[in-house]
Amino acid sequence: MSTTGKVGGERVYHGRIISVDLDEVRFPDGSVGKLEMIRHPGASAVVPLLGDPSEDPEVLLIRQYRYAAEGYLYEIPAGRLDPGETPATCARRELQEETGYTAERVEQLFTMFTTPGFTDETIHLFVATGLVAGEAHREADEFMELVPTRLSVALDMIRQGQIQDAKTALALLYTAAFRMRSA
């Protein structure tokens, strides 16, 4: 069998957030084909917990307008990595910018691929505790409101289809299933 991976290609678009490449790829069976790939620098997202994590803490959810979703979504704070920025620094920055809160502790949960069928974007998921209120510094195109929600209620919102953002649902479920047991 031949080695898999990129054997050629070209960049067809470069924008502020993403780039699009038309890659020539060798597949596991040795054949070669073309794939459109969206390139993204990666992001971090954080589950901010208020209160005792061993109880039913509040999660600082955000209700944010998303053009692609044609409306508002419930999300956890998240954002794109700046050049040279570590995922943990990005998580702390996004928490402060979007909610106004800072955290005593930010611990990584895991890293996920968002949609590996067409993008290389990964999101590094974190949990933040020991929160201290402050002032938010949102970007001009961020339309959001802070919605503190008990973790148990947020889990019901996932079950009822009210939380439709994948990173948020997965991070909350992971936190409830694995982090809360060890708290």
* pLDDT 10s digits, 93-141: 999 999 999 999 999 999 999 999 999 999 999 999 999 999 888 888 8
Give every residue of the chain whose pLDDT is below 50, as ranges: 1
Query: Could you give the C-alpha distances from 97 to 49, 57, 78, 79, 117, in angstroms and in order?
Result: 16, 21, 10, 10, 31
Strand 122-132 versus strand 43-50 pairing type: parallel
With H, G, I as helix, E, B as strand and everything else as coil, classify residue 28: coil
Domain ranges of the chain: 5-39, 43-182
> What pLDDT is recorded for position 141?
81
Taking the C-alpha atoms of residue 67 and residue 117, their distance in angstroms, rounded to an integer, is: 22
Superfamily of domain 43-182: Nucleoside Triphosphate Pyrophosphohydrolase (3.90.79.10)
pTM for the model = 0.92
> What pLDDT is recorded for position 2?
58
Tell me which of 24, 97, 107, 142 is the catalytic residue: 142
Q: Can 36 be counted among the known catalytic residues?
A: no
Taking the C-alpha atoms of residue 68 and residue 40, their distance in angstroms, rounded to an integer, is: 17
Whether residue 92 contacts residue 106, with contact meaning beta carbons closer than 8 Å, is answered with yes
